[in-house]
Structure 1
Amino acid sequence: MSRLTDDVVAKTVDTMEVYRTAVPHEELRRAVEHNLRFVVAGLRAPGSPHDLTAPQETGRRRAYQDVPLPEVLRVYRLAFAAVWDALTQHARHGSLDTLIAASTALWRLADEHAIAVTEAYRATTAELLSEQRQRRAALVEALFDGQAGVEVSPWEIAKLLDFRPDSDLVVVAAENTGLAEAGLPRVEQRLAERGVVSAWRLTPTLQTGVASLRHGQRDELLALLRDIVTSRTGVSPPYQALRDTPRALHLAGVALAGIPSGRCEVRAFSTSPLAALIACDSEESQRVAYQVLGAVLELPAEDRASLLETLNAWFDHAGSAEHAAQQLYCHPNTVRYRLRRIHELTGRSLSLPFHVAELATALQALRLGADHARKER
């Protein structure tokens, strides 16, 4: 038995690198010898129920060691081939009938052992994957709550989640399509197929995740989300520090809330720092909006909409009346007239930087206020 064990171990180590790195040599030898003894016992009593504890234990151990299942089964083939060689050598001095009977028992044993190894390996792998998913969900929960704990730093959490240290991060928040039914089905796997590492959690009403992006992957992320989205989905601006995850989650939620109810759409929150600042305190931002633009907001609906649309177009086109006019399908002088009315109504001049900043802040606050009102409805 010792010589047979040594031969199988030597062939295993020589032909499979994983057994030189992932499995200690002595453990491999013990496992091979243990399994061979069970094979020999089965050959001696072919009609008796076979004890499959050895292959089952091997399957569990190799799953924990992350040895690929095909490699595990390959070792078994080597072991059974070694036993077969030993039987044929012995048969030269015995009868052919004995060899045929032994071969029938041997291949039946090989089949039973392969099934036992495979089932134990897959069951253990399923347990490990379940534990991994639960742990990742717990880590994501800690990031979103901002409560990583004294003993675990955000850097350590990033390492556990396999996030690159120099990556951009974004938070995605998707409304569930039903009770605990994800709005982004199989999103983690689909992102992984494109080289994007992410971690997710699912609550009764919301699916949220953090994605680690290399430079230039944000557009790819948004494109994939739009391909698979089945509900309202918001995406935060990129950020770098994991401690900012709760804030990013809030901004993703704001973006989601801005999508009309019932629409399947992905909306990314503005990358503007001003928009993020305003979103942190919606009540105060609305107060600012009415303090700056109150006189405009009190106008009749059509007049009010015309002035606000013009002001937005002027900001969108870097203060160019000509380009704003092209967007609005009107004459540049019409744009200038409306801007003068805004100046008269608000007391803010578009030629003074601080006044421009106040008007931009008020416009951002109005957008967020509209999104919030849409959410409340």
Structure 2
Amino acid sequence: MRQAWDVPESTDPPANPPPDERPEYAEHPHGATLRRLEQSSGKLAAAAITRMDEQLPWYRAMPPENRSWIGLVAQAGIAAFTEWFRHPETPQAISTDVFGTAPRELTRAITLRQTVELVRTTIEVVEAAIDEVAAPGDESVLREALLVYAREIAFATAQVYAQAAEARGAWDARLESLVVNAVLSGEADEGAVSRAAALGWNAPEHVCVVLGTAPDGDSELTVEAIRRAARHAKLQVLTGVLGSRLVVVAGGSDDPLRTAKSLIGPFAPGPVVAGPIVSDLLTATGSAQAAAAGLRACAAWQDAPRPVLADDLLPERAMAGDPTARELLVEEIYRPLEEAGSALLETLSVYLEQASSLEGAARMLFVHPNTVRYRLRRVTDVTGWSPSDVRSAFTLRIALILGRLSDFANGA
């Protein structure tokens, strides 16, 4: 007979049930193993860090801050495995769970190879502890789960580095476009040089700019094709598609025509113009402006070679209003002839007026044809342009016209 002071038997579950009887473990098919895995996670992470310190020289050489981030990644990896083992039927965002604990800068601090070594070391530590961690009879289950998780974490590692590479590539492309645009627009300064250095430009001694029409389609494919051609030709390049134009700043060769021929493949049909060689990226603006002026004026020379030098287009550029071309024709052709003596200027002028006839020029000048021939050779020596060549004769004629106009403007 129960007394009034007797405590009735309680039907509620005990306040602190044994660990294996807790709902999260009792309902799991391998609850004991899950519990032991959770309890061992801290020890496993510490063992992984210790093994890295013993076996990975690059880890020992890292700054303390980066080592601490790597430790967090190892802990997050083991915690993510535990959560994945708890809910194997639910897809887990492993890359977020594991690598989300570390800052983005860590992907630049350690390479993909080092990350693979980090993951391998952590997996090896967990695998070596399976017999100790798994409940009796669950060893094969835990080992199989670890193998599947290792595959997933490998994919997640590749994804993290692929995303970082894509982001870095997109940033580099924008940076390169800024440098190319600064060169083309005449705004290149030390800031542009610094940005180019960040892209791997190591300041070659000879630089020129090549301009042409960009092909239709993906501009990234065009840029990559230019880079492949540059690697084959052993050139450094900064390149970009600006509107309809494909711009290449090339360094490493003192021959602009050979440079243009090496890179011409990715350009669309149409004229391709190479600017003159300059000494560095800061002065590449002059080469770019010459190439741009040549590209605009190229329509006037329908038989122009492809590619063509901007300096070979000086007469067309001058007629199109390019002040630099006008100045070059006067200063590099007319003034040297003027300084060499009036006989050369007079002979060249008469020779051109007489339809390039030696005898006709000789009669007009009252000299022997051999004298005319000698003076024309002197013209070639002084200017680099041969009066007997049709194209050169046209350039010399334009230079004479511009020189006389300049003299008239200056009151000479």
TM-score (norm: length of structure 1): 0.67
Distance change (3 Å), C-alpha of 1:76 and 1:249:
same
Percent identity between matched residues is 14
Match of 2:307 in 1: 266
Segment drifting more, 58-67 vs 350-359: 350-359
Match of 1:74 in 2: 117
Structure 1 residue 129, shift from structure 2 partner: 0.6
SS of the residue corresponding to residue 201 of structure 1 reads strand
Distance change (3 Å), C-alpha of 1:357 and 1:343:
farther
CA separation in 2, counterparts of 1:171 and 1:222?
9
Q: Which amino acid aligns with 1:267?
A: V
Query: Is 2:141 the partner of 1:101?
Result: yes
Aligned length: 329
Segment drifting more, 250-259 vs 349-358: 349-358
Query: Is 2:122 the partner of 1:83?
Result: no
Query: Is 2:292 the partner of 1:253?
Result: yes
Instruction: Check the 8 A contact 2:264/2:272 in 1, yes or no.
Output: no
Query: Is 2:230 the partner of 1:205?
Result: no
> Aligned to 2:170, which of 130, 134, 139?
130
Distance change (3 Å), C-alpha of 1:188 and 1:17:
farther
| RMSD value, Cα | 4.7
CA separation in 2, counterparts of 1:286 and 1:203?
30
Bigger RCO of structures 1 and 2 (CA < 8 A, at least 6 apart): 1
Query: Is 2:394 the partner of 1:366?
Result: yes
> Aligned to 2:104, which of 52, 61, 77?
61
CA separation in 2, counterparts of 1:210 and 1:361?
31
Match of 1:174 in 2: 212
Instruction: Check the 8 A contact 2:205/2:251 in 1, yes or no.
Output: yes
C-alpha distance after superposition, 1:204-241 (max 9, x if no partner): 3210121221x668686345225555533222222114
Structure 1 residue 359, shift from structure 2 partner: 9.2
Distance change (3 Å), C-alpha of 1:44 and 1:130:
same
CA separation in 1, counterparts of 2:149 and 2:238?
43
> Aligned to 1:26, which of 68, 78, 81?
68
Instruction: Check the 8 A contact 1:229/1:264 in 2, yes or no.
Output: no
Instruction: Check the 8 A contact 1:62/1:121 in 2, yes or no.
Output: no
SS of the residue corresponding to residue 85 of structure 2 reads helix
CA separation in 1, counterparts of 2:396 and 2:377?
25
Q: Which amino acid aligns with 1:82?
A: V
Structure 1 residue 26, shift from structure 2 partner: 1.3
Structure 1 residue 90, shift from structure 2 partner: 3.6
Segment drifting more, 278-287 vs 183-192: 278-287
Distance change (3 Å), C-alpha of 1:225 and 1:368:
farther
SS of the residue corresponding to residue 129 of structure 2 reads helix
Q: Which amino acid aligns with 1:163?
A: W
Instruction: Check the 8 A contact 2:385/2:396 in 1, yes or no.
Output: no
Higher Rg of the two aligned structures: 2
Instruction: Check the 8 A contact 1:201/1:209 in 2, yes or no.
Output: yes
TM-score (norm: length of structure 2): 0.62
Distance change (3 Å), C-alpha of 1:196 and 1:55:
farther
Q: How do residues 196-345 of structure 1 correspond to structure 2 at under 5 angstroms?
A: 196-213=235-252, 221-226=259-264, 230-231=268-269, 232-254=271-293, 256=295, 257-258=297-298, 265-270=306-311, 280-282=323-325, 298-299=353-354, 304=355, 306=356, 337=359, 340=362
CA separation in 2, counterparts of 1:263 and 1:75?
60
Match of 1:38 in 2: 80
Match of 2:10 in 1: none
Structure 1 residue 296, shift from structure 2 partner: 5.1
